[in-house]
Amino acid sequence: MQKNKRLTLVEHLEELRSRLAKSAIFVVVASCLFYGVVGYILPHLTRPVGRLVFIAPHEAFVTNIKIAFFGGLFISLPFLILQIWQFVKSGLKTNEKNYVLLFGPLSFLFFLAGSAFGYFIIVPIGMKFLLSFSTDIVTPMIAISRYVSFLGVLTFAFGLVFELPLIVLFLTKIGITTPQFLAARRREAIVLIFISAAVLTPPDIITQCLMALPLLILYEIGIIFSKLAYRSKRGPDKAP
């Protein structure tokens, strides 16, 4: 009996190793392919700021590799999600599989929506505000590596914060929270939202507010989702 358990554990570890290797190879290949189009994408990425500079001799090259890696990682997301699903599905119950099949695609779509919102809305507004401090005496010279990091952090952060309604919905489904609790803790949530915005964004008040405001809206949407989930769990007659 003990031997079978060990074999099962070894088999799981072997499967994990195999899927990690496949995922790594897929990301590397996708990144190499994406590197070929970095030159076409870079002008679109830098549109909010115009011309950039590189200070160190290797900075532009390393930044191109960074863009290629994150582009390859983004392209690989469906494959990576599939590998995770193939690994964990055997240990899940039927209702747990249903939750994953529901929340998995939804979370991916919400992440895409948040990333797009951050890139197309927040980054241009934030950069326009920050660059407005330039004068005849003070001229902005933005390093390409710093800008790409700024862009990546904001885009990824907004992708994460857009998951908030789904997280609230999931927690309500499994009975950890209720819409009444969320509504009663609104003030504490506002404080936590502004703290989270300060941690996730670059250290300027405008960018932090640009993240905090959508988070507040998403929190209210989360309460609505929670009410719907709570009502479906208890039934229309028992729902408040």
Question: For residue 202, what pLDDT is reported?
Answer: 65
Q: Give 43's contacts (C-beta < 8 A, 6+ positions apart).
A: none
Return averaged pLDDT per consecutive 10 residues of the chain, 240 residues in all.
Answer: 54 89 97 95 89 91 94 91 86 80 87 92 86 85 91 87 89 86 92 84 74 90 90 62
Residue 231 · residue 239 · CB < 8 Å = yes
> If you count them, how many residues does the chain have?
240
Residue 158 · residue 118 · CB < 8 Å = yes
Question: For residue 18, what pLDDT is reported?
Answer: 93
- C-alpha span between 99 and 124 (Å, rounded): 36
What count of Cα atoms within 13 Å lies in the side-chain half-sphere of residue 59? 14
Tokens found for residue 201: 């964004």
Question: For residue 68, what pLDDT is reported?
Answer: 96
**In which residue are the tokens 């119950």 written?**
93
Question: For residue 2, what pLDDT is reported?
Answer: 43
pTM of the model: 0.80
SS (H, E, C) the chain: CHHHHHHHHHHHHHHHHHHHHHHHHHHHHHHHHHHCCHHHHHHHHCCCCCCCECCCCCHHHHHHHHHHHHHHHHHHHHHHHHHHHHHHHHHCCHHHHHHHHHHHHHHHHHHHHHHHHHHHHHHHHHHHHHHCCCCCCCCCCCEHHHHHHHHHHHHHHHHHHCCHHHHHHHHHHCCCCCHHHHHHCHHHHHHHHHHHHHHHCCCCHHHHHHHHHHHHHHHHHHHHHHHHHHHHHHCCCCCC
Question: For residue 73, what pLDDT is reported?
Answer: 92
Instruction: Return the ∠ at Cα 106 (arms to 104 and 108), rounded to 5°.
Output: 70
Tokens found for residue 58: 């290797």
- C-alpha span between 64 and 68 (Å, rounded): 6
- C-alpha span between 76 and 26 (Å, rounded): 7
